[in-house]
Chain A
């Protein structure tokens, strides 16, 4: 079995739903994106490129390309980056020592590093939340005779905001690699796992399930009857930077340029 993905760029409308559902389900801290959608040729998403009537707006979703010959895996000194039995490139968070060789090696810039404990970042983003509790609350408690229920409610909200995302850890293979945990430890590298917490249980990655444009397909590239195999057989596809020889397992159907 060899898991891969096909993304139809004609269908992609650049809505970033894949990026957001990835972020929410994988409990990514603020600033971290495993999956991003670019507008080719500009830094401003969903703006035009070109001049006058000769304009275009083409989107490119990019997450881990799940290379078959992955530079990240080669350079990892601890074998924290590895292939699972389906060819998916994963990171064992318990083995990663944070040397970031993999980040330097990855030609796609999809790996991200936890400089801090993500829980800190999340707690800060949940904010200001904290501040909303402020002095007003304390006086109010006094007025209410020390009843603690209001503050109880607010702290619950803060806590819930910090604990969004798929909650349970995911261990992979006989070696019990820790490949998903809601809050990655400080000092490890993280990236797309094809949603290990879902795919290992027979479900689709969140971005595939959620794409409202139905631009993404996921499945077994070694099974000729799978949807992805049939798409590869019937359509012309491209992969990012094929010249690097990384053999990605994420394929793109290029846009068709219908314009007259």
Chain B
């Protein structure tokens, strides 16, 4: 090895030592002696490229939209997207904003976020499920079927649903919204008749709210789970399984072709 190469390496070593020491000094100056006065003003680059030509689908809501219970992880939205991909050669862009266990009040606060609104604005199709957690509260409601309490809950839910639809429509006035209504996972239990009645009345209330807005479609799922409910439920006896999601997905997908044809 020639002397020059070693000399070069030593020079590099010395130079980089100086560089890293500067880095350490910068660290100390930046992290420890920073005055929290000048608040940052990032360049606002918002609002770029409003619409691209992709078909944009945005999904909102709770565990159903998330796909809990489907071992493939798709959920009904996955099947809808698959179906649409088959029908169109347009590029499909899909965002799932659903959060497990979300109730209507939480969805309202989510809808107020800037970025969520931006995505909704660009959406061509909006899919949503909400209300399941408001109603079933993780099985609690079953034990306590007192009508006054349930009426109160329903009243609250209806109001919040109205706020949700209102928010969605202010952000995006054109995209069809498919609100997937509730089914009764408990209709084979002893008090199946009573729980079914409650689910029906909630669904009715929800479809009344949906009817007040332009192209918000309330998609029934109650009938899909009416016979042999356990064949379509996941082992938790609450969320649908793969077959259950497929049924919901097929129904929603069929509606989307229709509305697109009408346009």
Does B associate with A? Answer: no
